[in-house]
Amino acid sequence: MSEEQFSYPEKVDVQNCDKEPIHIIGKAQAHGVIVAANPKTFEVTQASENTLKFFGISHKDFLGISLEKLIGKLPVKRLQASIAEESGFAAEDLKINENNFVMLAHLSEDNLILDFEILGKTWNPTHFQQQLTSIINGLDTTNSIPTLCDRAAKLMKNIFGYDRVMVYRFDEEWNGEVVAEEKEEHLESWLDLHYPASDIPSQSRKLFLNHKVRIISDVNYEPVPIAPEISPVTNKPLDLSRSALRGVSPIHIEYLQNMKVGASLTAAIIVNGNLWGLVACHHYSAKFINYYQRETCKFLTQIFSNNISTIQTGIFNKKINENSELRQRIVEELKIEDSLAEGLAKTSVPFTSLIESGGGAVILDNEIKLFGKTPKEAEVLEIRDFLAQKDEVIFHTKNLKSQYPKAENYKKSASGILSFKLGRAEDNFIIWFRPEVAETVSWGGDPNNKVSYNEEKQRLSPRKSFEKWTEKLDGISHSWQDYDLETAKVFRENLNQFLLAKQKEEISRLNQNLEEVNKDLELFSYGISHDLRSPLRGINGFAQILKEDFSGDLPAEASETIDTILKSSNRMEGIIDDILSFSKITSGELEKEKFSTKKLLEELLSSFNIKINFPDTEVVIAENLHGTYGDRRMVFQLWSNLIGNALKYSQRAKTPKLEIGSISKDNREIFYIKDNGIGIAKNDQDKIFNVFSRASKNDFKGTGVGLSIVARIIEKHNGKIWIESEPGTGSTFFFYL
């Protein structure tokens, strides 16, 4: 049964009263007339069946008449203007059939709804003025919420004269508590009584947000039906959510009758857009207060609500300030610590004191530390597993066992928990524990037994007995406040920063180590290749002498051996050269400039002496080649290695061909060199940039260092190199700097 349902059900009981569609109740209260009219034609379409009593026109004759006939030309004009300008409707005082009325208009769906409320005796403006002043002064100078509530109750009683005025405050589960009361002496006090959430069902709470003051002028009234039931304009029952004369839920009436209440006034206390509580006034006989008095009441609750908000903000700020000092101290002391868990155990102010709690736990990298009053270590680890499944980074509950039944075993120390996840790991947590509140709460009714069964009427009704009933709050801790959550949030940021700083330190230490090792390695390879040169020159020189001066005296086998020595020492010299230039590139600084790529290539190609050394190879350089910005010496080396490879690995093609050019893509100038040589297999394409890594093995001469020099130069220029290659077809190397 949703709020949107079509018509008010015949039978509503406590089982479904949370869904009772009270906005389409189809009845008016008896102290006025509800009239619905077509907002275009101003013709009456529906009305409560008490028009004869108030207007002197029978209901039958009333339907279909024009509003003008009832209220006169000018008021209709004003209604028209309000509709056209969408400006909202002003209350209108009218005299009809010798009665004084206030007419309250509003639009609901496509109906114009008019409440004609009897005004009673006339209103004294000076009196009114005095009341407003007393409200402002009376509620002004306190910074305690209980005192403010007491004063509001007193003012309310003084101004409106109800027998009992209560200020009723909701908790986060919508259970209520009477926090202030002002009453006639002979009445029994209801101060401190608690009421289960079901007493004010959710849809009534929602209505209060729209319609802040609601009266029931006579609990024992005869509800006046609205006829016809279905609006001819919308083909639906009238939505009376905003009608002041809307009839009252029969369940609520029964509820009030059980308390012997004759009339009531309820005003919503709305703080920061949320229903904070209610001012509930009871009278033990019928009592009506008119529209203007209700406006005064609205004004009073408005001031009251604003003051609550101010006081709450003050408390929040004060708590946050106090905590912030403690927090800073903890964070400061942590700075010298290496491990967070160790550090938190040592601080002069324990972190658990940041938030009112019995104890706490730090669980970090499978290490656990407990502080103060907590469940046992194994139990806390189980709670950690429960928390790890939650999506929330910050989690809190004041009734852990309702979500995690095992917590029954340690509710004395951990009925409530507030926790947050720490760092990136899913199972690092900081937790605060709150013990069970060992208090006895007075309930206005037994929340476990909301309804009593009336055998006679065979229908459920709200509690017949309204006796004080007590329940021990089982497994419930004090509520976590917004400033507790805020403190947890900021503390979490602090600790995450701590962890991040430690990680950064660790990374930069590792980096430094790595840099040192690298430098050593460069020096070593530079030194070694340098030192190897002179003995190698010795070997080479003496082998040359042997060959030139003694080859005639030696057997052929010895001459061949000398040739092998010469070949090997030449190869070794090649390797040493390559290692030397690699270590130079690695350690060298960049000297960037702009230069012509074309000129560089011409210079380079002539040094290769292509016509003589590679007579069959055709080399094509694109016309519109881009210039280069980089270290010319290094870029020279880069091209030299790429061209050298392309020439070498395409030698065996039928008609070897090299193409060099550049393209622009995504704001980048990309150079390429394409050959029709042997190509490179897919799984070799990444490896060949490593030092000494070769894919072609022994078919071609080489050391496997050339491309690692290329990669290093590209890296130094923050560039990128990649290959497109097909074995047997050729390779294209692309790069940008």
Instruction: Report in angstroms how near the CB of residue 717 gets to ligand ADP at its nearest.
Output: 18
Supply the DSSP string of 383-429, one letter for each residue: HHHHHHT-S-SEEEES-HHHH-GGGGGGHHHHSEEEEEE-SSSTT-E
Nearer to ligand ADP, 145 or 680 (CB): 680
Which one, 370 or 643, has the nearer CB to ligand ADP? Answer: 643
Near ligand ADP by CB under 6 A: residue from 261, 703, 712, 721: 703
Using the rule CB under 6 A, which residue among 358, 435, 444, 677 binds ligand ADP?
677
Select 130 or 690, whichever has its Cβ closest to ligand ADP. 690
In the bound state with ligand ADP, the residue whose beta carbon lies nearer, of 45 and 703, is 703
Q: Quick check: 251 binds ligand ADP (CB under 6 A)? A: no
Q: How far is the CB of 654 from ligand ADP (least distance, A)?
A: 16
**Minimum CB distance to ligand ADP smaller for 83 or for 653:** 653
Among 246, 282, 294, 694, binds ligand ADP (CB under 6 A): 694
Structural element, H or E, at residue 118: strand 111-118
Nearest-approach distance from CB 681 to ligand ADP, in angstroms: 9
For 326-374, give the DSSP string. Answer: HHHHHHHHHTT-S-HHHHHHH-SS-GGGGS--SEEEEEETTEEEEEES-
The reply to whether 680 sits near ligand ADP by the rule CB under 6 A is yes
Which one of 54-62, 411-419, 487-495, 689-697 is the stretch in contact with ligand ADP (CB under 6 A)? 689-697
Task: For ligand ADP, give the closer residue by CB, 135 or 673.
Answer: 673
Paired tokens of 699: 């078919």
Measured distance CA(269)–CA(167) in Å, rounded: 9
Q: Given the rule CB under 6 A, which of 271-279, 346-354, 394-402, 702-710 is the region that contacts ligand ADP?
A: 702-710
Amino acid 124 reads N
Number of residues that bind ligand ADP (CB under 6 A): 21
Quick check: 419 binds ligand ADP (CB under 6 A)?
no
The reply to whether 48 sits near ligand ADP by the rule CB under 6 A is no
Q: Of 177, 731, 735, 736, which one interacts with ligand ADP (CB under 6 A)?
A: 731
What minimum distance in Å lies between the beta carbon of 735 and ligand ADP?
Answer: 13
Residue 133 DSSP SS3? helix
660 is a contact residue toward ligand ADP (CB under 6 A): no
Q: Residue with structure tokens 């055709």?
A: 618
Contact residues for 171 (Cβ-Cβ < 8 A; gap 6+):
177, 479
Q: What 8-state DSSP symbol labels residue 246?
A: B
Is 685 a binding residue for ligand ADP by CB under 6 A? The answer is: no
Q: Does residue 334 bind ligand ADP (CB under 6 A)?
A: no
Check: CB of residue 677 under 8 Å from CB of residue 654: no
3-state secondary structure of 671: strand
Q: Indicate whether 35 belongs to the interface with ligand ADP (CB under 6 A).
A: no
- Contacting ligand ADP (CB under 6 A), which of 577, 696, 719, 734? 696
Burial of 1 (0-12, 13-18, 19+ CB in 10 A): exposed
Instruction: Let me know how many helices (H) and strands (E) the chain has, helices first.
Output: 19, 29
Which range touches ligand ADP (CB under 6 A), out of 17-25, 37-45, 167-175, 677-685? 677-685
Token pair belonging to 61: 């004759």
Interface with ligand ADP, residue 704, by CB under 6 A: yes
Q: Does 411 bind ligand ADP (CB under 6 A)?
A: no
Distance CA 714, CA 721 (A): 7
Q: At what angle do helices 291-334 and 145-160 cross, to 10 degrees?
A: 180
CA distance 116 to 32: 5
Report if residue 363 touches ligand ADP, rule: CB under 6 A.
Answer: no
Query: Which is closer to ligand ADP, CB of 226 or CB of 660?
Result: 660
Considering only 57-65, 68-76, 90-98, 693-701, which stretch makes contact with ligand ADP by CB under 6 A? Answer: 693-701
Q: Which is nearer to ligand ADP, 649 or 736 (CB)?
A: 649
Write out the two tokens for 145.
Answer: 């919420």
Binding mask 627-656 for ligand ADP (x = CB under 6 A): --------------x---xx--x-------
Q: Which residues pair with 723 in a beta bridge?
A: 733
Q: Are 62 and 47 in contact (CB under 8 A)?
A: yes
Asked if 417 interacts with ligand ADP (CB under 6 A), we say no
**Please, which residue, 102 or 678, has the CB nearer to ligand ADP?**
678
Tell me the CA distances in angstroms from 527 to 513, 522, 571, 574, 579, one per residue in order: 21, 8, 19, 16, 10
Cis bond before residue 21 (omega within 30° of 0): no
> In terms of DSSP H, where are the helices of 656-724?
706-716
For ligand ADP, the binding residues (CB under 6 A) are 641, 645-646, 649, 675, 677-680, 688, 694-696, 702-708, 731
